[in-house]
Each structure stands twice: as structure tokens, then as C-alpha cells.
Amino acid sequence: MAYYLTLFYPPSRTGKRIGFYFTAAQVSASVVGLVSAGFQEMDGLGGLVGFQWMFLLYGLVGILVGISLLWWLPDRPLAPGETRNRAGWRKWIPQSRPALQGEDAQIHYEDLTRVYRRQAWTLKDLWHVVIDWRVWPLMVMYFGVVGVGIGVQNYGTVIIQGINPNLSGVDLSLLFAPIWVMDLIAILLVTPISDRFHHHRALFFSVPVLLQIAGLLITTYAGSESNPWPRYGGLLIVGFGLGPTVPITMTWTNEIFQPRHGEVGVAAAAALVSGLGNLGSILTTYALYTGWPADSVPGPTQYRKSNLVMVGILCLSILSAVSMTVLLRVVGNGSRAKQISSRSSTMDGDGVIVDGAARRDLQERGLGRLWFRR
């Protein structure tokens, strides 16, 4: 989806859009927490347990939505006057409605010309993306925040139950949902501003990560035996900090690799960052919390070591973001004043400003016209 959005928007303006896309995960996580409470009341209905009803209905909705996307999701835009090739096997693929028509299509073509210049790429071009050092700091950034996100998603109810062992399954589900509501709120608040100050992605990434660290420390050390609920407040802070970090990481990937490697760079780098970065979820899923027997012993220090491990990988994410910023200033990412459209990083010679969007990317919009029109 990170690559798909670059077909319609310049990379510097994809943060908000990627954020909106990721809100689906947050809404799903919060809804699951609420709806699962209802599914638990369906135990025995039709001979199925509650979780079987949940898997059945969610799977059915997923299949229907997946099929409908063949007609619903628009294909990449075409230059004015160009027609889509429907010969051979392509005629069997449902044709979706164009995203833009008429004057809107003409304006988009003039403003984002790079999208309409598809160029063939080879395995050599793909290899240049793989060996580009810029992908690795982004991957480590993703590793940390996704690891913590999956850890909270998998063990949030376990942590809450550690706060109050007497909570029922329904209570745990209801208390789990607000964590992801906070996540959703942060995405809607932070990602639009990060697009308007897109030269400072590291800052908009690092501050939410620091909030996650603060939340984990509160969850670990706050409260007392008589009043453990401040620890739950720490989980809410973690949820808020999680929200914008993944969308900003993917947006920064678009901004770095689109001018260097073109479309193949965006697609391959997004796959590498998200694919290898998801290894963080393996760590937090199988090595921490209930997967760490010595750390899951009930008591005041329960899950303390697991929380501190997650703090450690978050510090590594911040270090990677800072390192990326410093290295880009020292080594560069190609001339920021000249953006190459859909070309390999091996291309010789200077780039050119390919369209109006590339020219605007050189400047930040700031907060002007954010809430009103002048």
C-alpha cells in the first residue's frame, strides 16, 4: 500500500494517507477488544465456541472485501488520451473505475508526471535497492516499533490481568480497546503535521517512540499494591506513542527511495523494511512475557524484564532514526534540488526536477492553511 499510494500522491504527502490506511489496524484491534466480549457470550451457539464464530465471520468479511477490491480499487493512473491494454489475459481482469477523470486527471498528470513514465527495471536495479545502506536504518526503526506494537497486541490483556488478576475475560477485552483508540488518535493528529514538516521525519518518529518508552516505564514501575491502575495509564501512553511511528517509517522510505531508485525502489524498499522489520514481532511474541517463564512469575516484578527489553529495542529505533538523519546530511541522498523520476541509482549525470510535486517537495508547507484558507 505504501507503494500504491505513491502512484497518486508525492512521497512527501503520503504520511497522512499511509496513516489513514493503518487506522484500519487500530480500529480492528479496538473493535476486536469490544466485539470479542460479545463473541464470548456466543459460546455454544450452533455448536461453536465464541472464538470460532469470530474467525468465521471475520474470515467471511475478509473474503468479500478482497473480491470487491478488484472493482473498487483503481488501477494506476494513465496519461491523458492513453488507453489501458486489455488484450490477452488482461481482458479477464475486472476493470475498475479511474480514480481521476477530466480536468482532475490533466492536473494530476502535470503535477505528478513521474508516475506516468513507467520504465522497465531489471534484477540489477533490484539488487541496487537491496544493497543500498539506507534500507537498514529504516528496517531497524520498523523492527523496534512493530516489535513493541505486536507485543502489546499479543500480551496487552496479559499485562492488564497482571494489574488485577480478578478481572474477567469481558473486562479484559473492554480495557484492551482504549489502547488502540489512543493509537488511532495519535495517527490522526501527528501524521498530517509530519507531512507539513516532512524534512523532519526523524523528529516526528522519535518523540512518539520516547512516549512509548515513558509508557513502558510507567507500566513497569508505577502504582502500588493498593492502587496498581497507574500501570494501565502507562499502556494508554504506549498506545498513543505507537500510532504514528509505522506510517512515518514507511513514508520516510518512500521519500528516500523514490528519487534514488524510482518505482522499483519504493516497492522493494517497502517490502524489505516491512518484511525484515517484522522480525521484531517474533522476538516479542515468543521470547517475552509468557514466553519468558522467569519473568512471568506473579508478583510486583512480573513482566518487568520483558518491558525493559522492549524499552531497549525502542532505544535502538531512535538511534537508527538519528543515524539516518546524520548520514543523509553527510553522505546525501542525491541532490535534494533535483529529483530523478523512475530511474536507477546507477544512472549517470544530474537529475532534473520532473514535475510540480517534486518542486514543492523542496520546501515545507508549515502550518499555513492547515485550518483555514487565505
Q: Round to whole Å and give the CA distance between 18 and 259.
A: 19
Q: Round to whole Å and give the CA distance between 130 and 123.
A: 10
The pLDDT tens digits of the residues spanning 263-302 come to 888 889 999 998 888 888 887 778 887 778 887 777 777 7
Q: Taking the CA of residue 305 as centre, how many other CA atoms within 13 Å lie in the half-sphere pointing to its CB?
A: 12
Residue closest to 356 by CA, chosen among 105, 84, 10: 10
* Residue 31: per-residue pLDDT: 72
C-alpha cell, 38: 460479545
Average the pLDDT over 353-362 and give the result: 59
The pLDDT tens digits of the residues spanning 206-251 come to 999 999 999 999 988 887 777 888 889 999 999 999 999 999 999 9
The pLDDT tens digits of the residues spanning 178-208 come to 898 899 999 999 999 998 898 899 999 999 9
Tell me the CA distances in angstroms from 29 to 181, 239, 336, one per residue in order.
Answer: 9, 11, 39
Q: Round to whole Å and give the CA distance between 139 and 159.
A: 27
Within a 10 A sphere around the Cβ of 67, how many other Cβ atoms?
11
Q: Round to whole Å and give the CA distance between 146 and 279.
A: 9
C-alpha cell, 85: 491494454
Q: Round to whole Å and give the CA distance between 24 and 117.
A: 31
* Residue 348: per-residue pLDDT: 40
Q: Is-contact 108 77, C-beta < 8 A?
A: yes
The pLDDT tens digits of the residues spanning 41-69 come to 777 777 777 778 878 888 898 899 888 88
Q: Round to whole Å and give the CA distance between 2 and 255.
A: 11
Q: Round to whole Å and give the CA distance between 97 and 95.
A: 7
Q: Round to whole Å and give the CA distance between 144 and 249.
A: 11
Tell me the CA distances in angstroms from 65 to 1, 8, 76, 97, one per residue in order.
Answer: 16, 22, 20, 17
Report DSSP state, residue 227: -
- 118 pLDDT band, cuts 50/70/90, is low
* Residue 355: per-residue pLDDT: 58
Average the pLDDT over 346-358 and give the result: 49
Residue closest to 306 by CA, chosen among 187, 151, 174: 151
Whether 14 has a pLDDT exceeding 80, the answer reads yes
* Residue 299: per-residue pLDDT: 72
Q: Round to whole Å and give the CA distance between 324 and 271.
A: 19
- Per cent of the chain over pLDDT 70 is 84
